[in-house]
Structure 1
Amino acid sequence: MTSRLAPLVTVLLLLATAGCSGQAGAPRPSSSPGTGTATPSGAPTTGPATGTPSSTPDASPDPTTSRPAAPAPSGAELLEGMTLAEKVGQIIMVGVPVSGGRETAAAAIRQHHVANIFLHGRTQAGQGPVRRLVTDFRAIGTAANPRDPLMLVATDQEGGAVQVLRGNGFSDMPSAVDQADMSPDELRRDAETWGTELADAGVNLNLAPVVDIVLASAAASNAPIGANRRNYGYTLESVVSGSVAFGQGQRDAGVATAPKHFPGLGLVVGNTDTSAGVTDTVTGPDAKSVEAFAANVASGSEFVMMSSAVYTKIDAERPAVFSPAAIDLLRDDVGFDGVIMTDDLAAAAQVQAWSPGDRAVLAVEAGVDLVLASADPTTAAPMARALVERAERNPDFAARIDEAAARVLTAKSALTG
């Protein structure tokens, strides 16, 4: 990262990983759900996504597997030959209820080439039913998008009050406040276990960790984060230490992460999901929360989720998710070159003043790469139509679609590697 925040982020990362015994991204010992206890020496280990035994050091090399892996294709290469509608489908993620009817989401995939899904709601059904649900939707996605390397399958598996998937095969995860009391080593090991549970169910993107900084004195009045104990403590150091360790553990298991909600939801009162006019008059380009996001970016996060609150010190006219100034802060100051995604633009009260199509267009125009339509899947279709119509009329917007789709495809390709 070459941003102006790089020196400070280096210090924060050193503090965050001071207790870690491995390099970021290195394989970690597996652990029992919720215990942080490493697998005993000599016990068989398995790969995070396949469950196949790991090879022993003295095993004879297999000539069919020992060749260097071919480099993953770039997003630009994968984009070649796609229609405009297929490109637009790459930059939309539709909500699939884990309980209830799913035909609306399936229709968005079939009719509009929507190429990514979000497992929405709450379920106690366990890993087996979730895996079958994901398998069914992957089959629908493959038929609709034959050039797509992999469907992004996301969910909210933070822990505590926000844990979509529960039941047999999924640990009961503590809240982020409680996770912050763990050492970085212990949290990273447990986060790898939680990530392996997701990967085994077919989930490859966790919309976590929460990186918002909440004041201890105002936590109860911070409806979206503090009131639900979603924050990793109450200081910059605690948030960086906890969120970075969580993200590293998830990625150790092969699950990508999306730190949220940039540039920070820890200082607002209202919840953007249920309230309109949510505004932050304190957070600016030099805020501690921006530093916390920079540390997560530097540690390897592939996605970042934008907040839909208004930040008067960054852009007083527009929610951050529609703000070129907020996007530029993330790209230029923080130095993030991965996939920028929205918070829910389907049912969130904060964005209901705009039509679903306008929400998608404004976000992509501002520089967002992936539009989340999670809580109301009926909005995915008008979003897709609006993006196509705008791109057909405006070559600059069509180029923006290409840029966004290439980033999403690059991220997907890396997940398959």
Structure 2
Amino acid sequence: MHHLSKLAVIGAALLLALSAAGGPPQPATSKSPSAARAEFLPAMPHPAISQPSTGQPAAVPRAVRKPVVGHTAAATAAPTPAQQLARLTLAQRVGQLFMVAATATGADANTMSDLTRYHVGNVYLAGRSRAGSAATAAVVRRMTATVSAATSGGIRLAVATDQEGGFVQVLGGPGFSTIPTALSQGTLTTAALQANARVWGSQLRAAGLTMNLAPVLDTVPSRQFAPRNAPIGFFGREYGFTPQAVSAHGGAFAAGMRQAGIAPVVKHFPGLGRVTLNTDTTGNVKDTVTTRTDPYLLPFRTAIQAGARWVMVSSAYYTRIDAGHIAPFSPLIMRTMLRSDLHFTGVVLSDDLCNAAQLAPWALGTRATSYIHAGGTMLLCANPRAIPAMYTAVLQLAQHNPAFAAEVNAAALKVLTVKAGH
């Protein structure tokens, strides 16, 4: 994911209406708001295909909570998600489709503006913090305090972070265990891992978080290939080297998180375990192996059958599935594979669509509208400064195109439904 770029260094007016004639636009390298004035779906570049070149946890708490992803105030008669949607303005509905980064040690002015001016309804803590649980809770409270009828219709924030373990652990310090790599977690029994994950999830819950952008369900094919697998195997983010091992241990991690009241996000569909480049730091990353019925989809299928409500989609090309589109712009991957083949009914969350090198060919606004139109539900953005252009593109297209507005409304209802714990 987006945060690994640092580790890799170490180791129409706005958008033309859909009914307008003409072909799709060419990718643009400009990331300014004006550059977002493009057609609805981007044309895809066709460069040559690249070749694959602990601490001990505390006792498990007894309380088990069903994840309710948004911070919600107690109510005698809580409105249904459909009733919540009806009360939101279009601008507020669009805001529910974004998840923006906030520095784990304290949200900056850009993030706070995104939450208030642009109605963003979801945030994730990024970077690294060793300040501990109490300090993290204060950071979360500052952001949740921005919620009002004007900003989000009273729909509270979903607050996430990346707490996988090993190299990918955002939160540390007093109140947070040091979590081993997923590869190390995979050596535990599934019962022990689930118990540990429940403790780790309880620590997140105590700090005010509602989600964890984990577990990784990508399967790296072998220990020998792992060092060449830039995004996953190189960092020990895999639970093992077979789909069965990844499914069992990734599922145990997810179950423990759910028991703690934290919603797990399984990633990166349909898999990054067989690529050799990292979409955070490199463009034109292609998986030339995975198919629509690939055995390596097993961990995702099993997680969905077990009740996963959040799936993060990768940003790679999958040439044997949809060679013309990267995954976040592919209806075949998000609508057909996830929704129809795997019967997923939850939120489809993107990987970072703002800073990742893989997305550089497309203007910010085009990235956002293309993702929603292709079947994405919520867009993750690692750069708070990019939100205005992306948000404006989605809002203005929804204002002028009824078909796209219907897609926005459907996505917003999905977000509200899952955030409410349904």
Please give the range of the TM-score, normalised by the shorter of the 2 chains. Answer: 0.7 to 0.9
Map Cα deviations across residues 18-62 of structure 1 (whole Å, 9 max, x no partner): xxxxxxxxxxxxxxx9546756xxxxx56468xxxxxxxxxxxxx
CA 38–349 in structure 1, closer or farther in 2 if over 3 Å, else same: same
Picking from 111, 124, 135, the partner of 2:141 is 135
Is 1:74 aligned to 2:95, yes or no? no
Contact 1:315 1:325 in 2 (8 A): yes
1:340 correspondence with 2:348: yes
Q: Which amino acid aligns with 2:100?
A: V
RMSD: 1.9
Q: 1:339 to 1:101 in 2, by over 3 A?
A: closer
Q: 2:280·2:358 contact (CA, 8 Å) conserved in 1?
A: yes
Output the CA distance in 1 between the equivalents of 2:236 and 2:179. Answer: 12
Aligned to 1:29: none
- Which of 117, 121, 124 is the equivalent residue of 2:127? 121
- Work out the percentage of aligned pairs sharing the same amino acid: 41
SS state at 1:208 partner: coil
Unaligned runs of 5+ in 2: 1-53, 66-73
Structure 1 match to 2:48: none
Which of 81, 98, 101 in structure 2 is aligned with 1:92?
98
1:48/1:196 contact within 8 Å kept:
no
SS in 2 for 1:409: helix
TM-score (norm 1): 0.83
Distance 1:102 1:48 in 2: 34
Residue aligning to 1:234: 241
Shift of residue 144 of structure 1? 4.3
CA distance, structure 2, for counterparts of residue 336 and residue 344 of structure 1: 21
Measured after TM superposition, the shift of residue 70 of structure 1 is 7.2
CA distance 1:109–1:38, change in 2 (3 Å):
closer
- Letter matched to residue 169 of structure 1: G
Report what 2:415 is aligned to.
408
Do the aligned partners of residues 124 and 48 (structure 1) sit closer, same or farther apart at CA in structure 2, a change above 3 Å counting? farther
- Within the candidate set 256, 279, 283, 1:272 is matched to 279
Q: Secondary structure, in 3 states, of the residue corresponding to 2:296?
A: helix
* Equivalent residues, number: 359
Q: In the TM superposition, what is the alpha-carbon distance from 1:212 to its structure 2 partner?
A: 0.3
Is 1:373 matched with 2:385?
no
Letter in 2 for 1:352: A
Measured against aligned partners, the alpha-carbon deviations of 1:120-170 in whole angstroms (never above 9, x if no partner) come to 111111111110000000011336435343311011000001000011100
Q: Which 4+ runs in 1 deviate beyond 6 A?
A: none
- In the TM superposition, residue 314 of structure 1 has moved relative to its aligned partner by 1.1
- Structure 1 residues 98 and 132 mapped into 2: Cα distance closer, same or farther (>3 Å)? same
Q: 1:184 aligns with which of 179, 190, 194?
A: 190
Partner AA of 1:208 in structure 2: A
**Structure 1 CA distance, aligned partners of 2:185 and 2:232?**
15
Does structure 1 conserve the Cα–Cα contact (< 8 Å) formed by 2:123 and 2:157? yes
Q: Which amino acid aligns with 1:187?
A: L
- Shift in Å, 1:197: 0.3
C-alpha distance in structure 1 between counterparts of 2:421 and 2:140, whole Å: 20
Deviation at 1:76, TM superposition (A): 1.7
Pairing 1:191-210 to 2, within 5 Å after superposition: 191-210=197-216
CA distance in 2, matches of 1:348, 1:97: 17
* Contact kept? 2:105, 2:131, Cα under 8 Å: no
The question of whether the paired residues in 2 share the 8 Å contact of 1:36 and 1:189 is answered with no
What one-letter code is carried by the residue in structure 2 that aligns with 1:379? A
In structure 1, the partner of 2:108 is 102
Q: Deviations over 1:320-375 (max 9, x none)?
A: 0110000120111111000001000110000011111111111000010100012x
Q: Does 1:322 align with 2:341?
A: no
In the alignment, structure 1 segments of 5+ residues that lack a partner are 1-32, 40-44, 50-64
Q: Does 1:304 align with 2:297?
A: no
Q: Secondary structure at the match of 1:254?
A: coil
Counterpart Cα distance in 2 of 1:401 and 1:37: 43
Identify the match of residue 352 of structure 1 among 355, 360, 383: 360
State the AA in 2 paired with 1:153. Answer: V
